[in-house]
Amino acid sequence: QVQLVESGGGVVQAGGSLRLSCAASGSIFSTSVMGWYRQAPGKQRELVAQIARGGSSTYADSVKGRFTISRDNTKNTAYLQMSSLKPEDTAVYYCRSDKGLLAYWGQGTQVTVSS
């Protein structure tokens, strides 16, 4: 069983920055694909960024150049550095771990960007 706990959300003004963290329990972190997703009110959950165990990453077009995903396998933690935040980035952000057919989600952390 893997548990994921997100932290770092909050309220920030447009143009500001936040760093989200996702701490994972369990021994599979280093071999899992880690991803950050978000869900705004009335919208579907969408992939924001993903990082493979070797460090290669992909991003949604809407966040390219502004967000950076990273991971520290020694700390079983994934991060999402968010800069130049916009009001449309407001959402609940979720961490997800994928290992083969197994997928785990965190409980989510709210990010609110005020204009």
Instruction: Tally the C-alpha atoms within 13 A of residue 80's C-alpha that lie toward its C-beta.
Output: 33
Are the CB atoms for 106 and 5 separated by under 8 Å? yes
At residue 51 the predicted structure's pLDDT band, cuts being 50, 70 and 90, is very high
SS3 14: coil
- Specify the higher pLDDT residue, 27 or 73: 73
Evaluate if residue 104 carries a pLDDT over 90. Answer: yes
- 32-50 tens-digit pLDDT: 899 999 999 999 999 999 9
For the segment 103-112, the average pLDDT, to the nearest whole number, is 96
